Structure 1
Amino acid sequence: MNVKKLIAAVAVFAAAGSAFAQQAEFTAPDAGFKSSLTRAEVRQDLSQAASQGAIAQRQHDGQDTVYVASGRTRQEVRAEAVQSAQSRRAGDVNNLYFGA
């Protein structure tokens, strides 16, 4: 009975050990790549494609920062914030920041 349990335990540990096996050395995806063009030729092709509009020049997610000009000074904005904080009452449901 103990031999069966021992064999089962060894089999479980062997399976678990092989599940965590990994490659010992990293191999880069482009390890065997040999270019047929020089760096200057690649840059020339890239600039030519860019001038023809064949490639995307800039990729963005539409979250460009836009700063809006304001006619108020920093002191005016701070004074308004202080006045707003002082006028707040706890439980005021008409407050812009209800519950704060």
Structure 2
Amino acid sequence: MNVKNIFAAVAILAATGSAFAQQTEFVAPDAAFQSRLTRAEVRQDLAQATAEGTTAQRQHDGQDTVYAAGGRSRQDVRAEAIRAASIRHYGDVNDTYFGG
């Protein structure tokens, strides 16, 4: 009985081990792709499509590189931050967690 259990355990172990086998050499999915256009032609097509407004809009990823200009000076913003920090808010805030 023990021999059968050991043999079954070894067989199961061998079967599950092969499920984790990996390919030994990486083959790029586009390895056989041959372009019919030159890089300059692709750039020209992209520039033309952008000028015509027919390019796909990129999805907003939250990484804006252009920031809106504010109407207040740096001194005004700093003064507001100092005033806000000096006002002690009481209410439903637990002072144990906020340095009270």
- Give the structure-1-normalised TM-score: 0.69
- Paired AA for residue 69 in structure 1: G
In structure 2, do the counterparts of structure 1 residues 79 and 48 end up closer, same or farther at CA, with 3 Å as the change threshold? closer
Q: Does residue 86 of structure 2 align to residue 83 of structure 1?
A: yes
Unaligned runs of 5+ in 2: 96-100
Secondary structure, counterpart of 2:31 in structure 1: coil
Aligned residues: percent identity? Answer: 47
1:40-79 matches, within 5 Å, as 40-56=40-56, 59-61=58-60, 63=62, 64=64, 65-70=67-72, 72-74=76-78, 76-79=79-82
Q: Which residue of 1 aligns with 2:93?
A: 98
User: What's the RMSD between the two structures over aligned residues?
Assistant: 2.5
Q: Does residue 24 of structure 2 align to residue 24 of structure 1?
A: yes
Q: Which residue of 1 aligns with 2:98?
A: none
Deviations 1:21-75 (Å, cap 9, x if unpaired)? 111121112111111111111111111111121113x52428555453225152x
- Paired AA for residue 99 in structure 1: N
In structure 2, do the counterparts of structure 1 residues 48 and 62 end up closer, same or farther at CA, with 3 Å as the change threshold? same
Unaligned runs of 5+ in 1: none
Alignment partners' CA distance in 1, 2:94 and 2:41: 64
Question: What is the count of residue pairs matched by the alignment?
Answer: 90
- Give the structure-2-normalised TM-score: 0.69
